[in-house]
């Protein structure tokens, strides 16, 4: 059951909802309202916004004073707390922003369980040996962690609320439809590359981050909402910008005491952008949802799957699409960008590229665009997993909110209400991966050939948690891996690639994150492949 409130989109109208594909009136009392309504915030009627801000700052001051006077929790050591003469956590947060990875690695030398003051506030960090214990512990809740960590109760951040219908649609429809989606993904990739990269056999430069993000966002959108809306530049702008703007708004909101964030969101321009994106997305989806998507196209996509899976359950299609896009675009683009730069900067890049092309041609000629081809692209799979190992998106993950006091296997007690994370540092452990800081594209091919079933890209373990671990590991990783492999097949078989500026760092560390350098450029030229494997 789709619940869709359009009262915030213009002059007052009757409250409307979709029941199946039929639009009917409903009473406000029984309405689950779309968060686009939240744009009409209560402070918009204040005669003077400065009064509201003044009250908020006074409340913040009182809150901070109580926090400073409160006794510190000293059962678990803090590795980057306040230094002498420092008031508050501003400097500690700033130090973590500059060198979060170093602080985490130093903390592990001191203790296996410790606290850090991150950009988002204090949190407990656990060593990787706790991963299997935490992943299945009934008192370690991932959904509550995400909701609290990313302010899901705050206007503009509703996209982060738990959406079981979407998870079920990914697991029961998207993953099972990968085989049928491979040719459409390939066809859309070909169109985009021809349009954006061109057919010139002369070297020319592209903004690597922009071109890959554009490619990934459009391929994903066409699969999620169909060709008509998925190719619309306004829609692509909304789903792409929501994700990047949410990161900025999240950090802005974290500067406020948690109790005041539901109010502060209405005074922060970055949070206002999120509400605007949600409104605009609703306006674009409304005509499609009101008429029934199948009236536009005969091809099923994620909109239809959501409706099928939902049944009588209420869900929000706008939030589902923005949540799906945020998950699909950022992490997929991140891995493609990092992988391309690693390939180009490998000591024997030319041989590696030829080895990859030879494998791609051999496998695609034998299997075509079938799921078996993705399994048999062993070297490409190894290259991707190695990049994810050396340059993960985050240093610590597996975020959980502790709903009841727990005692870990070594006697460590974690109190109710704490947030915990498990570090992903075994990826840099020489006892697990020899020469761990060396990018070895053939590493996981060798492991796979020796019978290591965990050497596959989509197989998370405590030694390599690029996609999480356990039942909360990324449900869309099979679709993401397929999409990435298809895109890289098109790029490497159709283009010669190189990174023009060897002096630029490929990764920037910020807090818990390892971002691709935003200034990276890639040089490309069209190859004369004369291949017949694209149909």
CA distance 515 to 506: 8
Q: Is 74 annotated as a binding residue?
A: no
Task: State the DSSP H helix or E strand holding residue 154, giving kind and residue range, or none if neither.
Answer: none
Contact status, residue 406 vs residue 413, Cβ threshold 8 Å: yes
CA distances from 98 to 393, 508, 526 (A): 16, 10, 40
- In 3D space, the residue among 529, 502, 498, 533 whose CA is nearest the CA of residue 517 turns out to be 502
CA distance 131 to 134: 5
Give the bridge partners for 41, in sequence order: none
In which region does residue 473 sit, left (phi positive, over 0), alpha (psi from -120 to 50) or beta (all else)? beta
CA distances from 200 to 357, 486, 529 (A): 20, 22, 13
Longest Cα–Cα distance in the chain? 72
Name residues whose C-beta falls within 8 Å of residue 533's C-beta, 6 or more positions apart in sequence: 361, 364, 365, 368, 493
CA distance 164 to 169: 9
- In 3D space, the residue among 514, 497, 495 whose CA is nearest the CA of residue 506 turns out to be 514
- In 3D space, the residue among 439, 430, 437, 426 whose CA is nearest the CA of residue 469 turns out to be 426
Give the bridge partners for 406, in sequence order: 414
- Give binding residues for heme as ranges: 474
- Give binding residues as ranges: 474
């Amino acid at each position: 059951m789709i619940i869709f409130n359009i009262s915030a989109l213009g002059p007052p109208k009757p409250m409307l909802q979709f029941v199946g594909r039929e639009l009917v009136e409903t009473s406000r009392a029984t309405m689950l309202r779309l968060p686009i309504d939240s744009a009409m915030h209560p402070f918009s009627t204040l005669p003077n916004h400065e009064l509201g801000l003044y009250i908020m700052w006074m409340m913040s001051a009182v809150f901070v004073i109580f926090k400073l006077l409160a006794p510190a929790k000293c059962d678990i050591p803090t590795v980057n707390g306040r230094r002498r003469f420092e008031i508050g956590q501003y400097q500690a947060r700033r130090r973590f922003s500059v060198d979060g990875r170093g602080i985490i690695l130093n903390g592990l030398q001191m203790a296996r369980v410790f606290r850090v003051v991150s950009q988002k506030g204090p949190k407990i960090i656990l060593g990787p040996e706790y991963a299997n214990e935490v992943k299945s512990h009934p008192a370690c809740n991932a959904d509550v962690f995400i909701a609290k960590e990313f302010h899901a109760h705050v206007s503009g951040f509703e996209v982060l609320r738990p959406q079981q219908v979407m998870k079920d649609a990914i697991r029961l429809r998207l993953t099972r439809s990968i085989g049928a989606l491979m040719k459409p993904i390939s066809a859309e990739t070909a169109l985009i590359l021809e349009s954006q990269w061109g057919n010139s056999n002369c070297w020319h430069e592209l903004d690597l981050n922009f071109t890959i993000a554009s490619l990934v966002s459009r391929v994903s959108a066409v699969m999620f909402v169909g060709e008509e809306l998925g190719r619309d530049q306004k829609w692509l702008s909304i789903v792409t910008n929501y994700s990047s703007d949410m990161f900025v708004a999240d950090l802005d909101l974290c500067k406020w005491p948690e109790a005041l964030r539901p109010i502060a969101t209405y005074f922060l321009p970055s949070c206002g952008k999120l509400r605007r994106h949600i409104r605009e997305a609703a306006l674009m989806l409304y005509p499609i949802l009101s008429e029934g998507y199948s009236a536009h196209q005969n091809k099923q996509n994620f909109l239809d799957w959501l409706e099928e899976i939902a049944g009588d359950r209420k869900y929000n299609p706008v939030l589902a699409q923005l949540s799906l896009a945020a998950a699909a675009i950022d992490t997929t683009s991140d891995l493609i960008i990092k992988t391309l730069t690693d390939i180009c900067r490998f000591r024997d890049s030319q041989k590696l590229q030829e080895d990859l092309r030879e494998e791609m041609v051999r496998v695609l000629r034998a299997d075509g665009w079938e799921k078996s081809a993705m399994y048999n692209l062993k070297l490409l799979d190894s290259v991707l997993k190695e990049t994810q190992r050396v340059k993960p998106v985050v240093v610590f993950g597996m975020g959980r909110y502790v709903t009841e006091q727990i005692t870990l296997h070594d006697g460590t007690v974690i109190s109710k209400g704490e947030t915990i994370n498990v570090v992903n540092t075994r990826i840099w452990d020489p006892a697990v991966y020899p020469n761990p800081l060396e990018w070895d594209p053939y590493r996981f091919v060798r492991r796979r050939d020796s019978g290591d079933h965990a050497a596959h890209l989509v197989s998370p373990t405590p030694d390599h948690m690029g996609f999480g671990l356990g039942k909360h590991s990324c449900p869309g990783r099979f679709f993401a891996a397929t999409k990435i492999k298809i895109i890289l097949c098109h790029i490497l078989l159709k283009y010669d690639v190189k990174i023009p500026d060897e002096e630029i760092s490929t990764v920037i560390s910020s807090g818990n994150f390892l971002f691709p350098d935003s200034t990276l450029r890639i040089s490309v030229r069209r190859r004369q492949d004369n291949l017949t494997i694209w149909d």
